[in-house]
Amino acid sequence: MSIKAPKGTKDILPSEINDWYKIENAAKEVFEKANFKEIRTPIFEDTCLFERGVGDTTDIVNKEMYTFIKSDRSLTLRPENTAGVVRAYLEHNFYRESPPVKFWYKGPMFRYERPQAGRQRQFHQVGIEMFGIQDASADAECIMLAVEFLNKLGLNDLIVEINSLGCPKCRQEYKDRLKKAIAPFLDGLCEDCKNRFEKNPLRILDCKNEECNRLFEKYNLKNTVSSIKLCAECDDHYKKLKKYLDILNVKYEENTFLVRGLDYYTKTVFEIKSNNLGSQNAVCGGGRYDGLVETLGGPHTPAVGWAMGMERLNSLIPNSETSKIDFFIVSDNQPEAVKLTYKLRNKGFSAEFDYNTRKFAKQLEKASKIARFAVILGEDEINNNYFTVKNLIDSQQTKMSFDELCELAKS
Ligand SMILES: [Zn+2]
Ligand SMILES: [Zn+2]
C-alpha cells in the first residue's frame, strides 16, 4: 500500500505556491513598513514553555499538543508562536533594547484536532508581536496593520471587534460575578466548563458546546453578568484605543463577550471577521498580554500581538496562476540549445530546453504549457546567427537577435 500524508496535513503543491508567496510577500511589505522584523523560532520547544505560556486551562495545552520525549526531555511541536517568540525575546536580551521591539513571523503550527473543513493538524500562521509599549497606540497599530495586511490581500469587507478584558484586578470582580451567575446551572454544563469554572471562568463564555449555549440562553447569562467593570487605568486604556482607531479610520464594533481562547490576554482583545465569499469568517485574533513575559521569567513587559491562519486567508483570496518561465528552447541541436539556455539564465531569465530532443511539434506543445516564449533554434537560425521567437500568448512569430530577445522578455 502506498504511503499517504498523515491525516490533517497537506502538501502545498507548485500550482498553489504563488498564493502562499502572495500572502507572505504582503506580510513582509506591510509589517516591515512599520519596522517589524521577521523572527524564525524553532518548530519544537520545551513542553513547559507552552504549559506556562499558553496556559494549562486551554484546550490547546490540555488536548491538542504534539508532545514527545527525547533523552528524558519533554518537547512539543509549537501549537502557536507567541510563547516561542517571547522565549526568544528573553533569551536574546531584547528587553534591554529601547522599546518597542517588534517582530513578525510566519510558519507551521501543530494541533491535534479533529480535521474538518479549513482545519488541519499542521497549519500555518502569520503574526506580529510588539513588546515594551503600554500605551494603547501599540494596540491600535497592531489592529491597523492587520487591517492593512488584509486589505492588501483584497479583503476589504472586514468587521473589527474589540473588547477589554481588564487587568487581573478588575477581572477578579468580573470572574466572581460570572461564577455567581453560572453556579445555579453549573451541573448542566460540559466537563470543560466545569473545569474552567474554578481555573478560568471567563473561558466559559467561549464554549462551543450546544447544551452549554442553550443553558446560557435559558438563564440569560449574557444579560445577567453584563460586561466587565474596568478599573480607572484599564478604562482609560480602552478609551484611548478607541480614540486611536478613530484617528486611523479603523471601523470597529465593541463586543463585550469577546474573550478569546487563550489565558494570557489582558486589557485589549480583538477579532477581525471577513465577509468575503459570502459567509462570515474570523480571520484574525489577538490582544494585549502584559503578564506573559513575566510569567515566562522575564521582567514586566507590556506586549500586544495577533495571529492569522494562512490556510483561511488562502481560501478567501482568488487563486493565482502558476508562473511561467520566460523561454523554452525548441531545437534539434542539443549542444546549441544547452548553450542558449545557460546564456539566457546568466542574463537573469528563466529558461529551459527539451532534455529529450523530441520532435519540434512536441517541443512547441510543451513550450506553450510552461513558457511565455518559444525560441526556435533550427539549422538556418544557427548558421545565420538569429532566433525565431514565438510569443506563446498571441502566437506571433518574429526573427530577432540575442539582444532583442532579452529586451522582449523584459517587457
Ligand atoms: Zn484594570
Ligand atoms: Zn461548555
* Percent with pLDDT over 90 in the chain: 77
From the number of C-beta atoms within 10 Å of its C-beta (0-12, 13-18, 19+), residue 170 rates as buried
Q: Which ligand is nearest to the CA of 266?
A: 1
Question: Please, what are the domains in the chain?
Answer: 17-166+230-316 (3.30.930.10), 325-410 (3.40.50.800)
Rounded distance between C-alpha atoms, residue 28 and residue 383, angstroms: 49
> Is residue 135 a contact partner of residue 191, using CB atoms and an 8 Å limit?
no
396: how many CB neighbours lie within 10 A of its CB?
9
CA 207 to ligand 2 centroid distance, Å: 5
Determine if the peptide bond prior to 100 is cis (ω within 30°).
yes
d(CA 339, CA 160): 56
**181: closest CA among 205, 164, 210, 206?**
205
Confidence label for 363 from pLDDT (cuts 50, 70 and 90): very high
Confidence of residue 277 (pLDDT cuts 50, 70, 90): low
Taking the CA of 191 as reference, the closest ligand is: 2
- What is the per-residue pLDDT for 19? 96
CA of 81 to the centre of ligand 2 (A): 26
68-106: per-residue pLDDT in tens? 999 999 999 999 999 999 999 999 999 999 999 999 999
Angle at which helix 232-247 crosses helix 136-152, to 10 degrees, equals: 40
- Whole-number percent of the chain with pLDDT over 70: 98
**Ligand 1 mean position to 34 CA, how many Å?**
29
Per-residue pLDDT of 281-332, as tens digits, reads: 889 999 999 999 999 999 999 999 999 999 999 999 988 888 899 999 999 9
Separation of CA 181 and ligand 1 centre (Å): 21
Residue entry with cell 471587534? 161
